[in-house]
C-alpha cells in the first residue's frame, strides 16, 4: 500500500469546495455519473477500433446503490476502469488540478451563484457530500485492481484490490449534513433531473412490472421484477429527423414534460455541426396572452447531460417561451450570464436558432396556409415579440406574419397593403390602417367603418401597440388608427370637403350650448360636418395618447408615467345630423338639455362608458321619453 499527499498548493482545498459550492451540492451525482458514462463510452470506442483486445463490451449499465445502514452511496460502472498508475495520474494529479483550477478561477466570483456547479469540478465534487471517498477500480487492461481512499484531507492511500470485474466503483461515505442523499426518493429525483437522457442505461434498484403470460384464453397477469432504468439513452433529438415521425416528436414532448397535457403545435429539429455543434428539438406550445406563466422551459444539455433550464442568453429572449431541448458541447457553462452574452459562439448559436425558427414558420406558412392561419392566435405573441426584439426576425417575419381582420381574413402586410391601398389612402398619400382591439366593445365603430367600405384589423395581443409603433417607423407612409380614435372622415381624410348644413353663427351657438351641458373635464367637444347618416354624437379617444398609455403599461415604450394619466375623450358632434339641428331649434332650454344628455349617454353606451348612477339615470330618462 502506498500513501501520499495530494499535490496541493491551495492548502486544504476540501473545506473550500464545500464552502464555494454550498448551494449546489446535488451536482456531485451528475459529475460521478458523467464520469461513469465517459468511462463506458471510452471502452465502447476502444472495442470499436480494436484497441481493447479480448474485451467484451456487452450491455453495460451504470448502477447507483444506497446503503442506508452503512451511510454509503455506491456508483458502479463497467467502463474502462483505471490501473493504479492511472489513479495516481488522473485522480491524484489531473483531477485535483482541475478542481484546484476551478476554485482558483471562481473564488472571487463565487457570490455569482450562476456559475457555481456547472461542470469542471468533476470527481472532487464528491467531497461536498462525503467525509470519505473510495475508488475501487479494475482496468480493462490486464493489471490488478486498485483501491484508493481519501478522507478529505490532502492525504490519500492507494493499495491493490482483489476486484476481478472490469470497471469502477465509487463509494461515498455520506457526511452528517448530507443524509438526504441516502434517501431513495431524493436520489431518484436527481437521477431524473440530470441523467434522464444520458447515453448509458442507469439502474437504480428494481421495480414491479405486470406482464401477461400464457395463451390468449388463459392469459395471466403476472408481476415480475425488472431493473429500474432511469433514463432513455436514445432521446429523439439525437436521432435524424428522417427517422422520426410526428408521433415520435409528440411522444418525446410528453417524455420531457410529463405534466403537460396540451399537445405542442409544431416542432423544429435543430441539427448543425459547423461552425458549432448543436442538436435539439424546439416545440411551439399553445400560448395564452399571459406571457408570464411558464414553468416548463427549454432544457439545456451538454452531451445528453442536463445542465440547466435557464437558457437566457443562449436562446433569444422571445423564444424562451418555447419548450424543448438544446444540446451543445460548445456552450461555455462555467461562466456568468453577462459573459455568455459577449461570447461569439453563443451569439452565433442564438442567431442560428432565430433563423431556424423563422425558416420553419415560413415553410409552415407556405406549405399549409390554412393550418398556419388557424394556429396564428396561439403563436402570434411569440412572433410579434420576436419582430419587436430581433431585427433579423422582423425582416424574415415579413413573409409570414399575419394581420387578421375582424372577419377572420388573414393578410400578410403586403397583401393587406395591396387590398386596402385605394380605399385607405388619404389625401396626403398616407395609408391609414384601421384596427380594433375588441370586437364587442368597439362594435358600433367597426360596423360604421365596414359600412363605408373600410377593412378593420383585429389587433388584440398585449404588445401590439409596440408592434404598430415599430411598423409605422420602419415602413413608409403608413399609420395605424383604432376605429374609435376619431371620426372616420378625420382618420382618413379625403379631398372632398363636406358641406356643412350649419353656418358659422349657428356653429358658434351650438358650441356654446353643448359646452354648457357637457362636462368639459370629461369631453372635448369637436364639431364636424360629417355624412348625415353618421351618428350625431360619437365619443373618440385620440390614438396617440391612448397608445402611449398602453405602451407605458406594457413596459419598454411610451413615456414614463403615462399609464397613470386620466383617460381623454373627444365628443365628435356631427353638425349635419338631423338631431343636432333639432337641438339648436328646440323651444326650451330643458328640451335642449334633454336631447343633449340623451345623445351623450347613447354615445357613451356605444363606447362602453356608461356605468353606475349615470346608467340608472339614462334608463329612467329613456322610459320617460317613450311613455
Q: How far is the CB of 38 from Mg ion (least distance, A)?
A: 6
Q: How far is the CB of 123 from ligand ADP (least distance, A)?
A: 3
Candidate segments 11-19, 114-122, 404-412, 495-503, binder of Mg ion by CB under 5 A = 114-122
Q: Which does 313 bind (CB under 5 to 8 A by kind): ligand ADP, Mg ion, none?
A: none
Q: Which does 456 bind (CB under 5 to 8 A by kind): ligand ADP, Mg ion, none?
A: none
Q: How far is the CB of 193 from ligand ADP (least distance, A)?
A: 19
Q: Are 446 and 538 in contact (CB under 8 A)?
A: no
Instruction: Look up residue 345 and give its three cell numbers.
Output: 459562439
Considering beta carbons, is residue 198 or 510 the nearer one to Mg ion? Answer: 198
Pick one of 122, 285, 324, 386: the residue that binds Mg ion (CB under 5 A).
122
Q: Per-residue contact track with Mg ion, 61 to 80, x per CB under 5 A?
A: --------------------
Q: How far is the CB of 91 from ligand ADP (least distance, A)?
A: 6
Q: Which does 91 bind (CB under 5 to 8 A by kind): ligand ADP, Mg ion, none?
A: ligand ADP
Q: Which does 543 bind (CB under 5 to 8 A by kind): Mg ion, ligand ADP, none?
A: none
Q: Are 231 and 202 in contact (CB under 8 A)?
A: yes
Q: Per-residue contact track with Mg ion, 28 to 47, x per CB under 5 A?
A: -------x------------
Considering beta carbons, is residue 35 or 328 the nearer one to ligand ADP? Answer: 35
Considering beta carbons, is residue 35 or 534 the nearer one to Mg ion? Answer: 35
Q: Which does 84 bind (CB under 5 to 8 A by kind): Mg ion, ligand ADP, none?
A: none
For Mg ion, the nearest residue by Cβ is 122
First to last CA, the chain: 112
Span 568-597, contacts to Mg ion by CB under 5 A: none
Q: Which does 168 bind (CB under 5 to 8 A by kind): ligand ADP, Mg ion, none?
A: ligand ADP
Considering beta carbons, is residue 29 or 115 the nearer one to Mg ion? Answer: 29
Considering beta carbons, is residue 333 or 502 the nearer one to ligand ADP? Answer: 333
Instruction: Specify the pairing of strand 523-528 against strand 569-574.
Output: parallel
Q: Please state, as a whole number, how many other Cβ atoms lie within 10 Å of the Cβ of residue 251.
A: 13
Comparing CA positions, the residue from 601, 486, 502 lying closest to residue 534 is 486
Q: Which does 373 bind (CB under 5 to 8 A by kind): ligand ADP, Mg ion, none?
A: none
Instruction: Specify the pairing of strand 266-272 against strand 220-229.
Output: unpaired
Q: How far is the CB of 19 from ligand ADP (least distance, A)?
A: 19
Q: How far is the CB of 57 from ligand ADP (least distance, A)?
A: 15
Collapsing DSSP to helix, strand or coil, 427 comes out as: coil
Q: How far is the CB of 74 from ligand ADP (least distance, A)?
A: 12
The single-letter DSSP state of residue 7 is -
Q: Per-residue contact track with Mg ion, 537 to 556, x per CB under 5 A?
A: --------------------
- 233 contacts: CB under 8 Å, gap ≥ 6: 197, 198, 199, 200, 201
The C-alpha cell 335642449 sits at 592
Q: Is the alpha carbon torsion for 476, 482, 487, 488 positive or negative? A: positive
Q: How far is the CB of 197 from ligand ADP (least distance, A)?
A: 19
Q: How far is the CB of 122 from Mg ion (least distance, A)?
A: 4
Considering beta carbons, is residue 124 or 283 the nearer one to Mg ion? Answer: 124
Q: How far is the CB of 98 from Mg ion (least distance, A)?
A: 8
Question: How far is the C-alpha of 565 from the C-alpha of 562, rounded, in Å?
Answer: 5
For ligand ADP, the nearest residue by Cβ is 122
Q: How far is the CB of 94 from ligand ADP (least distance, A)?
A: 6
Q: Which helix (H) or strand (E) holds 2?
A: strand 2-5
Considering beta carbons, is residue 34 or 606 the nearer one to Mg ion? Answer: 34
- List, as own/partner pairs, every contact residues 89-92 make where C-beta atoms lie below 8 angstroms and the sequence separation is at least 24, other chains included: 91/123, 91/135, 91/148, 92/4, 92/6, 92/7, 92/156, 92/158
Q: Are 187 and 66 in contact (CB under 8 A)?
A: yes
Residues that bind ligand ADP (CB under 6 A): 31, 35-36, 38-39, 77, 79-82, 90-91, 94-95, 98, 122-123, 168
Tell me the site size for Mg ion, rule CB under 5 A: 2
Considering beta carbons, is residue 81 or 152 the nearer one to ligand ADP? Answer: 81
Q: Per-residue contact track with Mg ion, 212 to 241, x per CB under 5 A?
A: ------------------------------
Q: Which does 79 bind (CB under 5 to 8 A by kind): ligand ADP, Mg ion, none?
A: ligand ADP
Q: Is the alpha carbon torsion for 307, 312, 316, 318 positive or negative? A: positive
Question: How far is the C-alpha of 61 from the C-alpha of 74, rounded, in Å?
Answer: 14
- List, as own/partner pairs, every contact residues 4-11 make where C-beta atoms lie below 8 angstroms and the sequence separation is at least 24, other chains included: 4/92, 4/155, 4/156, 4/158, 5/154, 5/155, 5/156, 6/92, 6/96, 6/150, 6/154, 6/155, 6/156, 7/92, 7/93, 7/96, 7/97, 8/96, 8/100, 8/154, 9/100, 10/100, 10/103, 10/104
Q: How far is the CB of 121 from Mg ion (least distance, A)?
A: 8
Considering beta carbons, is residue 35 or 442 the nearer one to ligand ADP? Answer: 35
Question: How far is the C-alpha of 606 from the C-alpha of 126, rounded, in Å?
Answer: 70
Comparing CA positions, the residue from 602, 544, 591, 584 lying closest to residue 568 is 544
Q: Please state, as a whole number, how many other Cβ atoms lie within 10 Å of the Cβ of residue 262.
A: 10
Q: How far is the CB of 22 from ligand ADP (least distance, A)?
A: 20
Considering beta carbons, is residue 80 or 150 the nearer one to ligand ADP? Answer: 80
Per-residue DSSP letters for 209-255? Answer: EEEEES-STT-EEEEEEEEEE---SS-GGGS-GGG--HHHHHHHHHH
Comparing CA positions, the residue from 432, 378, 444 lying closest to residue 406 is 444
Span 432-491, contacts to Mg ion by CB under 5 A: none
Considering beta carbons, is residue 93 or 515 the nearer one to ligand ADP? Answer: 93
Half-sphere exposure of 606 (CA within 13 A, CB side): 21
Residues at the contact surface with Mg ion, assessed by CB under 5 A: 35, 122
Amino acid at each position: 500500500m502506498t500513501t501520499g499527499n495530494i499535490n496541493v498548493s491551495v492548502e486544504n482545498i476540501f473545506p473550500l469546495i464545500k464552502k464555494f459550492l454550498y448551494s449546489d451540492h446535488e451536482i456531485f451525482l451528475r459529475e460521478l455519473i458523467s464520469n461513469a458514462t465517459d468511462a463506458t463510452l471510452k471502452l465502447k470506442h476502444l472495442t470499436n477500433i480494436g484497441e481493447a483486445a479480448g474485451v467484451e463490451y456487452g450491455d453495460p449499465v451504470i448502477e447507483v446503490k444506497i446503503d442506508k445502514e452503512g451511510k454509503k452511496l455506491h456508483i458502479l460502472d463497467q467502463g474502462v476502469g483505471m490501473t493504479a498508475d492511472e489513479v495516481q495520474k488522473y485522480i491524484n494529479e489531473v483531477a485535483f488540478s482541475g478542481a484546484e483550477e476551478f476554485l482558483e478561477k471562481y473564488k472571487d466570483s463565487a457570490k455569482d451563484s450562476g456559475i457555481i456547479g456547472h461542470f469542471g469540478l468533476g470527481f472532487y465534487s464528491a467531497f461536498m457530500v462525503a467525509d470519505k471517498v473510495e475508488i475501487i477500480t479494475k482496468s480493462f487492461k490486464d493489471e490488478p485492481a486498485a483501491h484508493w481512499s481519501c478522507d478529505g484531507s490532502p492525504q490519500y492511500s492507494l493499495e491493490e484490490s482483489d476486484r476481478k470485474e472490469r470497471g469502477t466503483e465509487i463509494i461515498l461515505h455520506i457526511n452528517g449534513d448530507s443524509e438526504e442523499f441516502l434517501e431513495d426518493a431524493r436520489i431518484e429525483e436527481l437521477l431524473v433531473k440530470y441523467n434522464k437522457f444520458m447515453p448509458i442505461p442507469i439502474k437504480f434498484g428494481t421495480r414491479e412490472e405486470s406482464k401477461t403470460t400464457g395463451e390468449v384464453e388463459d392469459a395471466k397477469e403476472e408481476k415480475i421484477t425488472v431493473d429500474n432504468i432511469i433514463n432513455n439513452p436514445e432521446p429523439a433529438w439525437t436521432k435524424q429527423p428522417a427517422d422520426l415521425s410526428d408521433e415520435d416528436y409528440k411522444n418525446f414532448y410528453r417524455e420531457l414534460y410529463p405534466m403537460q397535457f396540451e399537445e405542442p403545435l409544431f416542432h423544429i429539429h435543430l441539427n448543425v455541426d459547423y461552425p458549432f455543434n448543436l442538436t435539439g428539438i424546439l416545440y411551439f406550445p399553445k400560448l395564452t396572452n399571459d406571457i408570464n406563466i411558464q414553468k416548463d422551459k427549454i432544457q439545456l444539455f451538454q452531451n445528453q447531460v442536463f445542465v440547466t433550464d435557464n437558457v437566457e442568453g443562449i436562446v433569444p429572449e422571445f423564444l424562451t417561451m418555447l419548450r424543448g431541448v438544446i444540446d451543445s458541447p460548445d456552450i461555455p457553462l462555467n461562466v456568468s450570464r453577462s459573459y455568455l452574452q459577449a461570447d461569439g459562439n453563443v451569439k452565433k448559436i442564438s442567431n442560428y436558432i432565430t433563423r431556424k425558427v423563422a425558416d420553419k414558420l415560413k415553410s409552415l406558412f407556405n406549405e399549409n396556409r390554412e393550418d398556419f392561419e388557424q394556429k396564428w392566435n396561439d403563436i402570434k405573441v411569440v412572433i410579434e415579440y420576436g419582430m419587436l426584439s430581433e431585427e433579423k426576425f422582423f425582416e424574415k417575419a415579413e413573409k409570414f406574419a399575419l394581420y387578421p381582420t375582424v372577419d377572420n381574413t388573414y393578410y400578410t402586410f403586403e397583401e393587406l397593403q395591396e387590398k386596402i391601398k385605394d380605399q385607405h389612402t388619404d389625401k396626403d398619400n398616407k395609408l391609414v390602417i384601421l384596427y380594433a382591439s375588441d370586437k364587442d366593445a368597439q362594435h358600433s365603430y367597426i360596423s360604421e367603418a365596414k359600412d363605408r367600405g373600410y377593412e378593420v384589423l383585429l389587433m388584440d395581443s398585449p404588445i401590439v401597440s409596440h408592434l404598430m409603433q415599430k411598423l409605422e417607423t420602419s415602413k413608409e407612409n403608413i399609420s395605424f388608427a383604432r376605429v374609435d380614435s376619431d371620426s372616420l372622415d378625420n382618420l382618413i381624410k379625403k379631398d372632398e370637403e363636406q358641406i356643412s348644413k350649419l353656418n358659422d353663427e349657428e356653429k358658434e351657438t351650438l358650441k356654446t350650448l353643448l359646452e354648457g351641458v357637457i362636462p368639459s373635464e370629461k369631453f372635448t367637444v369637436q364639431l364636424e360636418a360629417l355624412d348625415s347618416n353618421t351618428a350625431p354624437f360619437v365619443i373618440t379617444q385620440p390614438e396617440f395618447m391612448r397608445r402611449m398609455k398602453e405602451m407605458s403599461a406594457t413596459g419598454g415604450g411610451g413615456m414614463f408615467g403615462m399609464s397613470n394619466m386620466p383617460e381623454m375623450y373627444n365628443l365628435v358632434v356631427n353638425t349635419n345630423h338631423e338631431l343636432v339641428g333639432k337641438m339648436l331649434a328646440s323651444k326650451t332650454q330643458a328640451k335642449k338639455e334633454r336631447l343633449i344628455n340623451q345623445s351623450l349617454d347613447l354615445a357613451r353606451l356605444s363606447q362602453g362608458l356608461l356605468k353606475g348612477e349615470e346608467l340608472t339615470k339614462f334608463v329612467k330618462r329613456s322610459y320617460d321619453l317613450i311613455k
